[in-house]
Structure 1
Amino acid sequence: MPPCARLPGLLIASLLFATTAAAEVTLPAPPDQQWQPLFQQVQRAHLFKDQKTFADAVPKLDADALLAEWGQAQAQPGYTLPAFAATHFTVPTESAAYVPPAGETLRAHIEGLWPVLTRTTDTVDPRGSLLPLPKPYVVPGGRFREVYYWDSYFTLLGLASSGRWQQVRDMVDNFAWQLDQYGHIPNGNRSYYLSRSQPPFFSLMVDLLAMHEGDDAYRRYLTQLRTEHAFWMRGAEGLAPGAASERVVRMNDGSVLNRYWDARAVPRTESWTDDLATAATVPDRAPSQVYRDLRAGAESGWDFSSRWLVHPAELGSIHTTEIVPVDLNSLLFHLETTIARASRAAGERSVARDFARQAERRKQAINALLWDERQGWYADRDLERGTPRPALTAAALFPLWLQVASPVQARRTAEAVQAQLVRAGGLLTTTENTGQQWDAPNGWAPLQWVAVDGLQRYQQDALARQIGVRFLRTVQTVYDREGKLVEKYVVDGSAGGGGGGEYPLQDGFGWSNGVALALLDRLCDEGKRCESAGDVGE
C-alpha cells in the first residue's frame, strides 16, 4: 500500500483544498525583496541600532520609484546613504515609557496597560511591511509593534482575567481572518513574517473563548481550525517513511509528526546582518540551510535556544529542521482533538471520528518516539541520529498541559523538572547557560503557565504552586523596583529582567502581563481577589 493510501480521505481532501487555496493568494513581498539592493545596503551599513527598525520603516514612494530615485541620487554630489534613508522613509520610533501611578498594585498596573498596548490597523500604508487586521489587537510592547501569534494566547489569558471578552473575541477573529486570508497564521502581521507561522495556539484560543461563549465558539471557527491543520500537514500525502516535506515528517515506523520550517532560505528580514554573520561562522554548511534553520527556530518561538543547536555554545550549529519538537506535536494533538470536538458540535460526526483517530495516532507516536524512558521525561527527537535529544527543557511539560502523558509519565516528568529546572524565581527554560535568551538563567512567562496548569492537570499541585508563586514573586520584585513588567526574567534567584539573545530586554509586556494575572487568579485563595504577589500564600 503506498503511503498516501494510509491517509484518511477527508485529510487528503482538506490538504488539497488548502494547497489550492494557498496557491491563489498573492502574498505581499517583504522589504528585502521589494527594495533590493537598497535594503541590503542600509542593513549592512547598520544605520539603525536594531535591524528590525528598517524592516518596519515605510518608504514614501512605491518600490520601483524608490529604487529609481536612489539610483539617480547616488550620482549626485553630496549623496549619503543615511541622508537618503532619512528623506525617503518614515522610520518607527519607540513610544514613551509608560509610568504607572504611584502605589498602583500589580493587577491595577496590568489592567491599566491594556489600552496602552492596544492597536487598530484596519488600514495600513501598502508600501510598508505592516499587514492590516480588521479588529483591534494587543501588541507585546517595545520593539514588538505588531501582534504575534503564540504570544497572543497568553495575552488573552490576561484579557479574560480582566473581563475583556470583547477584546478576546476581536483577537481570535483577527487570527481567523488571517487563516482565511493567507491559509495560515503568520509569525506576526508583517509581510516579512508571512513565510512562517509560530506554535499553533489557535485551538487553545478557541477553547478559551468557548469558556465564555460555549459551543458556539467551536462551530464558528471550525473552518479555520481545519485550515490551520491543513497548513501544518501540507506535504504529508505520498511521503515515504523516513522522509520529510515542509513541516511534516513521516517517521520510520510510518507515523506522522511535525517539525518547524520556513518557506524562505535567506537571512531574516528583521535580522539580516546577524544571520549573515552566523552563516559565516560555519563555512562547511550551505548558508541557505543555516538561514532556513534560523528561520525555523524563529517559527518555534524559542529563538534561540540550545534546543536547536548541535553545539550549545555555537548558534551556527543550529539544526531546527532536523528536530521533531515535543511541544509542537502536543499542540497539534490539541488541534486535532479540538477539530473533533468542534465537528461534533457542528453535527459533522464522520469528520469528528476522523480527527479523533488522527489525534490518537499522534498521541501514540509522541509517547513512543518523544518519551525518553531511560531518563524519565519528554524530549525532542533528533532525526539525524534517530534518538531523543538528551537535555531536559521546559518543553517537556507540554504533554502534561495538553494531556498527552499517562499518570506515570507525568509523575516522572514532574520529578525531573523539580530536580533540574526549578529555581528560586520560577522555572528555568533549559539547564544550559549559552547566552541565548531561551536558555538558563532565563524564565519565560508562557512556560510558567504551561508548567503550572499542566502539573495541576496531573495532581502535581505542590510543584505547580511552587513554580507559580516563585515566578509571581519575581515579577512583583521587578515591578516594585522598576515600575514595569518585562519580556523575560532571570529566575536563578537574582530576580531581575532576563538577558541574552539578539536585542535588549523589552518592556511591556503582553504575555508577562497575561500570565501574571492568570497566576494571581489561579493561586489566590478561593473567594479572594489577589492584587499582588504578596496576597498569594505559599
Structure 2
Amino acid sequence: MKFKLNINQTLQRLLAQEDTDGDKKITIDDKGPKTFLLEDENGNSLNIEGTYHLSNLLQELALSKKSNSEFAEINSSEIIENPVSRISRKIKNLYWNGLTRTIDAKGVAKIVEDDKIENAISYLYVPATDTVAFEYFKNLEASIPKLKVVQLAKDISSEYVLTLNKKPGILALALQQDNKEIKGVPFVVPGGRFNEMYGWDSYFIAIGLLLDNKPELAVGIAENFKYQIDHYGKILNANRSYYLTRTQPPLYTSLIVAITENSKPEKDWIAKHLHTAIKEYQTVWMQEGKRLTPNGLNRYKAEGIGLPFEVEVGHFDDVLEKYALLYNLPLREFEKKYLDREITDASLDAYFVHDRSMRESGHDTTNRFVNVCADLNTIDLNSLLYKYEIDIAFLIETEFDNHFTDEKHTTYSSEYWKEKAAFRKEKINELLWDTNAGIYYDYNFVKNEPHQFDAAATFYPLWANLCNAEQAEVLVKNALPKFKLKGGIAGSTKEAIDDLDVNSPQRQWDYPFGWAPHQMFLWEGLLNYNYVNEAQEMIYRWLWLITRNAVDYNGTIPEKFNLETSSLKIFAEYGNVGTAFDYITEEGFGWMNASYQVGLSILKTELKEELEKLTDPDTLF
C-alpha cells in the first residue's frame, strides 16, 4: 500500500510524539507511545507500532525530504520490511554510495572537509613524483574556497613529516583519464569522522563491494593501494599528511586475489598489481633493521617523531603527567612543548615509537601493544605476510604459467615464494605457537620470550591457512570459547585484561569490544578447516548483534560493539563512530557493512529465518 503524505507535517508530528529525547531518531530509549496512525488524503490508513517500524517511517520520510517535494509516496512494505532484508538492501543501494569518494574537481571539496582539524586553509598534498596530478590540482585552487595545493618534498623523512604538522592535510590519490576528462579513482571511506581512505579498512570494504556487485569500486581501492605504494612508498594508515610514516596491516595481495577470482580482470591488470605487491613486500616489510627482525619474522615499526598527531588533547595524560612533573611544567604546557619538539626526552620518544607502531597495526589501541609493540613479532602481521607469500605463489602459478619477472628483472617461480612461506611457518611454529597454552602469542624478540596476552589475533593463522589440523582443533575447541560472547568474539579474553595493572585504561581493541575484522577472519578461518557448524554459529551471533542494535537504534550500523552488553553504546577511548546522524544513516560503517553482507552470503537458510525473528543466539547454540 502506498501513502501520499505531506513530508514535513508527517515528520514533525511523528517526531513530536515519538522522539522524546530530541536526538532526531526513534529508538528504544524514547518514551513515546510507540504507535502512530498513518493516514493520507486518499483515505488509506495504517497503524504503525513499535520502535523498529516507527524508525523505518522516519527514515523513509527523511529520504523523501531530500527530493525537495512537499509530498511523497511512502510504500508501507518498506516500513514493515524484515530487518535483515532492510539492512542488507540499504547497505547495497544506499550506504556504499554514501561512503564513496573521489579526489578530483567534483569530489575534493567533500574530502577536505575536516571535523578533526580546524584549519583556515584546507591543504591537499601531492607527491613530487606525480607532476600531472600537481598541475591538475593547482588548476582547481581558484574554484574551491580555502583549498591550498602543495607539492611534497622528494625526501619524505620523519623530520619533514613533523614540519607538516603545522599545516596538516589530505594526500592526493590516483587520477584516471575518462573520455578525455580527468577524474579521481573512487574509493570508499569507513564513515563518520573517518572521511579519508584507510589501509586495512579498505580491504574488508572491498570484499563487501565485490559481494554487492560493485567490482569497479573494489578495483578502485586496489588502484589507490598501488598509487600509495608507488608515490608514498607504502599503503598508508590513511591518506593524511601525518600518516606518511606509517603503513597498515598488509592485505593488498588478498585484495588482488579476490578481484582476480571475482571479476577475471585482464592479465596486464594482474601483472601490474603483482609487480607493486612484490615491491611493497620487499621495500616495506623485508628491509633489515626496520620491519624485518633478526630471527626472520616481522614486526610493526612505524617511523615518525614525537607525539602521534591525530590524537585528541588529553589522550596521553596518564603517560605525560609524570614527565610534566619531571620537567616542572603544567601538563598542557609540557604537552605542547613536547609536540613542538621544544622538549625532547629519549624515554618518552621510545614510548611513542611503540605507540605509533601499535597504530600501524590497526589495533589502536590495545594493552597488548602498549610500550612494547615495536619489540614484537606479532602473530597477526606474520600470518598476513605468510598469506602474502602464498598469494604471490598462487598468482604466479595460476596466472603466469609459473614464471613472473618483476620490475627489477628478477624472475620468480611459485616455488620461490612457497619456500619463503614455509620458512615463515616454521618460525611461527617455533616462536609464536604455545603448545601448552594452545594459543598463538606474539614473540618479544628483544627479550627472547613469548609476550603472553590472549588476543583475537590468535585466529589469524586459521584465516591464513598456516595451522596444521591439530593446532586448528586446539584453537577451535579450547581457545575460541574463551573469546566467545553472545554477539561474537572479543578483541581479547577477559583474563588478559584482568591481569593488567588496575590503573590501565580501558582500550577499545581489548575485551569486551568486538570488531568486524576479527569476526570475518575467524569465519573464513573456521571454514578453511571445515568447522562449518562453528562458523555458522559465529556468523549468526555477529549478525544478530548488528540486526538487534539496528532495530533498536534507528538503523544504526556502528564501528564496533560492546560484547559484554551486546550494545553499540561505548565510552572507551574514542566512543563509537557511526552512531551520530539525524533521522537516517546514509553510510552505516564500512567494514561493518561488509561483515553483514559477507555473513549473510554464508549463513544457512534456517539460520537466516531465525535471524529475521531476532532469535537470541544463546537459545540456539
Q: Could you say which TM-score interval applies, normalised by the shorter chain?
A: 0.7 to 0.9
Q: CA-to-partner distance for each residue in 1:164-202, whole Å, 9 max, x for gaps?
A: 111111111111111111221111111111101110011
Superposition CA RMSD, Å: 2.6
User: Runs ≥4 in structure 1, deviation > 6 angstroms?
Assistant: 97-101, 528-532
SS, match of residue 413 in structure 1: helix
Q: For residue 603 of structure 2, what is the aligned residue in structure 1? A: 523
- Using the size of structure 2 for normalisation, the TM-score is 0.64
CA distance in 2, matches of 1:281, 1:464: 46
Q: For residue 408 of structure 2, what is the aligned residue in structure 1? A: none
Asked if the contact 2:568–2:576 (Cα under 8 Å) also holds between the matched residues in 1, the reply is no
SS, match of residue 130 in structure 1: strand
Q: CA-to-partner distance for each residue in 1:352-378, whole Å, 9 max, x for gaps?
A: 332221111111111111101110111
Q: Say whether 1:355 aligns with 2:417.
A: yes
Shift of 1:350: 3.3
Asked if the contact 1:129–1:191 (Cα under 8 Å) also holds between the matched residues in 2, the reply is yes
Q: Say whether 1:305 aligns with 2:366.
A: yes
Alpha-carbon spacing, 1:530–1:267, altered in 2? closer, same or farther (3 Å): farther
Q: Say whether 1:447 aligns with 2:447.
A: no
Q: Return the letter of the residue paired with 1:491.
A: L
- Using the size of structure 1 for normalisation, the TM-score is 0.73
Shift of 1:497: 4.0
Which ranges in structure 1 are unaligned for 5 or more consecutive residues?
1-96, 237-244, 310-317
CA distance in 2, matches of 1:261, 1:504: 27
Which ranges in structure 2 are unaligned for 5 or more consecutive residues?
1-58, 64-77, 109-123, 125-146, 151-167, 175-184, 327-345, 405-410, 498-504, 580-587
Q: For residue 568 of structure 2, what is the aligned residue in structure 1? A: 496
Match of 1:109 among 90, 93, 103: 90
Q: For residue 356 of structure 2, what is the aligned residue in structure 1? A: 295
Q: CA-to-partner distance for each residue in 1:311-332, whole Å, 9 max, x for gaps?
A: xxxxxxx211111110100101
Q: CA-to-partner distance for each residue in 1:455-475, whole Å, 9 max, x for gaps?
A: 111122222222111111000
Shift of 1:481: 1.2
CA distance in 2, matches of 1:516, 1:445: 9
Alpha-carbon spacing, 1:407–1:277, altered in 2? closer, same or farther (3 Å): same
Alpha-carbon spacing, 1:337–1:512, altered in 2? closer, same or farther (3 Å): same
Asked if the contact 2:379–2:440 (Cα under 8 Å) also holds between the matched residues in 1, the reply is yes
Shift of 1:220: 3.6
Alpha-carbon spacing, 1:224–1:350, altered in 2? closer, same or farther (3 Å): closer
CA distance in 2, matches of 1:282, 1:451: 40
Asked if the contact 2:560–2:576 (Cα under 8 Å) also holds between the matched residues in 1, the reply is no
Q: CA-to-partner distance for each residue in 1:376-414, whole Å, 9 max, x for gaps?
A: 111111234322222321100100101110010011011
Shift of 1:504: 4.6
Asked if the contact 1:443–1:489 (Cα under 8 Å) also holds between the matched residues in 2, the reply is yes
CA distance in 2, matches of 1:364, 1:159: 35
Q: CA-to-partner distance for each residue in 1:263-287, whole Å, 9 max, x for gaps?
A: 1131111116446535425659711
Q: How many residues align?
A: 421
* Structure number having the greater strand percentage: 2
CA distance in 1, matches of 2:244, 2:456: 27
CA distance in 2, matches of 1:384, 1:192: 28
SS, match of residue 206 in structure 1: helix
Asked if the contact 2:472–2:529 (Cα under 8 Å) also holds between the matched residues in 1, the reply is yes
CA distance in 2, matches of 1:282, 1:298: 23
Q: Return the letter of the residue paired with 1:221.
A: H
CA distance in 2, matches of 1:165, 1:385: 46
Alpha-carbon spacing, 1:388–1:281, altered in 2? closer, same or farther (3 Å): farther
SS, match of residue 248 in structure 1: coil
Q: Say whether 1:438 aligns with 2:505.
A: no
Q: For residue 285 of structure 2, what is the aligned residue in structure 1? A: 233
Q: For residue 131 of structure 1, what is the aligned residue in structure 2? A: 171
Q: For residue 310 of structure 2, what is the aligned residue in structure 1? A: 270
Q: Say whether 1:326 aligns with 2:379.
A: yes
Q: For residue 209 of structure 2, what is the aligned residue in structure 1? A: 159
Q: Return the letter of the residue paired with 1:396.
A: T
CA distance in 1, matches of 2:318, 2:201: 26
Q: For residue 294 of structure 2, what is the aligned residue in structure 1? A: 250
Q: For residue 91 of structure 1, what is the aligned residue in structure 2? A: none
Q: For residue 182 of structure 1, what is the aligned residue in structure 2? A: 232
* Greater Rg over alpha carbons, structure: 2
Asked if the contact 1:498–1:505 (Cα under 8 Å) also holds between the matched residues in 2, the reply is no
Q: For residue 50 of structure 1, what is the aligned residue in structure 2? A: none
Q: Return the letter of the residue paired with 1:495.
A: S
Alpha-carbon spacing, 1:278–1:176, altered in 2? closer, same or farther (3 Å): farther
Asked if the contact 2:257–2:395 (Cα under 8 Å) also holds between the matched residues in 1, the reply is no
